[in-house]
Amino acid sequence: GQNIDQPTEMTATEGAIVQINCTYQTSGFNGLFWYQQHAGEAPTFLSYNVLDGLEEKGRFSSFLSRSKGYSYLLLKELQMKDSASYLCAVPSEGGYNKLIFGAGTRLAVHP
């Protein structure tokens, strides 16, 4: 089966850096997604990692280690608008990108 774990809640200060971790167990690996979801809104795509290493995209970066079943999302220069839930997800077996999501990490950014 597949299982995804991520912290339930995190808090951080505006301007700081925060790292949101995700560990996963999957029988076959087809990449890992990060989504951002503001309250009452649609999840929006942030990143997709399929190879080991760090991928940087502006203030957001995502890291993957396939051997450790581990990923993190790094948010720099935090802004109040970054307060949201961050969802880690992996595609299931089947070849059509049915996503298995973690419960999400609710990030609160304080002034």
Partner 1 sequence: GAGVSQSPRYKVAKRGQDVALRCDPISGHVSLFWYQQALGQGPEFLTYFQNEAQLDKSGLPSDRFFAERPEGSVSTLKIQRTQQEDSAVYLCASSFAGGAFFGQGTRLTVV
Residues engaged in binding partner 1 (CB under 8 A) = 4, 33, 35, 40-45, 48, 87, 89, 92, 94, 96-104, 106
The Cα 25–Cα 27 span in angstroms is: 7
Reduced to 3 states, what is the DSSP secondary structure of residue 82?
helix
Token pair 């079943």 is found at 69
List all residues 6 or more positions away from 95 whose beta carbon is below 8 Å from its beta carbon.
Answer: none
